[in-house]
Structure 1
Amino acid sequence: MALNYEYDRIPEIDEIIKLYAQSGLPRPIQDRSRMVEMYENSDLIITAWDQDKLVGICRCVTDWVWCCYLSDLAVSPDYQESGIGRKMIEMTRDKVSHQCMILLLSVPTAMDYYPKVGFNKENRAFSINRAE
């Protein structure tokens, strides 16, 4: 499988919404304008393509030197377990440098995945939930 990975190529919002729906990533896909704003306000976007088909996306917010919040990592179910997520995480690391911490909040179904691709589980995080 010859996939193409690209930095900062923002797909059409309908392609993103379709990928999120297929992958089960819980995001406000019913609110198209909010999804557009999420991408307009992101600092780093990495996409994976099988020819012209979007099969993976990684979206980050970062200051480039201290921390990078990996906001979204979605891979099409037909392409999961093929290394796409791992590759996009490696590309994120390469782009932000090794001085920068990468952190994320995992969906419950991915809790076993992230330690396999190099993340440490932390028990010291705090959050204030969004109002939706």
Structure 2
Amino acid sequence: MSVGWSSGEYPEKLVIAMKNFDTVFSAWHDDNLVGLICVMDDGIMNAYIHYLLVKPDYQLKGIGKELVERVKKHYQDYLKIATITMESISKFYEYSGFEKAEDKCALFITELEN
């Protein structure tokens, strides 16, 4: 949880979620996982980067950029790759080729009633 990943608070659910992603690329230093990117897609047109995580000690070393490049290559025949990110790191995605949509916003339901 060194990156403040709220999903890490639910390890049982996270294991299942990771198995259900369409694409996962990881970065390793020796036997240590230092970066991870997880993508969902519809099989032909749209891909969505759901998680991109790099351990703090390994940030600003090109790992996140390389993970995004792998996703871009993997989905090069798709029409769109999208992500939702915090404003504080949106510049990273812009540097990686993403553009902010002027006429769109992200909407969430974070608490579902049972």
Q: Which residue of 67, 70, 80 maps to 1:88?
A: 67
> Is the CA contact 1:48–1:54 (under 8 Å) kept in the aligned structure 2?
yes
Shift of 1:116: 1.2
Name the CA distance, whole Å, in 2 between partners of 1:41 and 1:115.
Answer: 27
Which residue number corresponds to residue 78 of structure 2?
A: 99
Which residue number corresponds to residue 8 of structure 2?
A: 29
Deviations 1:29-61 (A, max 9, x none): 221111112112110000000111101000110
Does 1:77 pair with 2:26?
Answer: no
Q: Which amino acid aligns with 2:72?
A: R
Which residue number corresponds to residue 109 of structure 1?
A: 88
Superposition RMSD in Å: 1.6
Does 1:47 pair with 2:26?
Answer: yes
In the comparison of the two structures, how many residue pairs are matched? 111
The percent of aligned pairs where both chains have the same amino acid is 24
Name the CA distance, whole Å, in 2 between partners of 1:100 and 1:48.
Answer: 26
Shift of 1:130: 2.5
Given the superposition, is the C-alpha separation of residues 82 and 37 from structure 1 closer, same or farther in structure 2, using an over 3 Å criterion?
same
Does 1:62 pair with 2:9?
Answer: no
> Is the CA contact 1:23–1:74 (under 8 Å) kept in the aligned structure 2?
yes
Task: Give 5+ residue unaligned stretches, structure 1.
Answer: 1-20
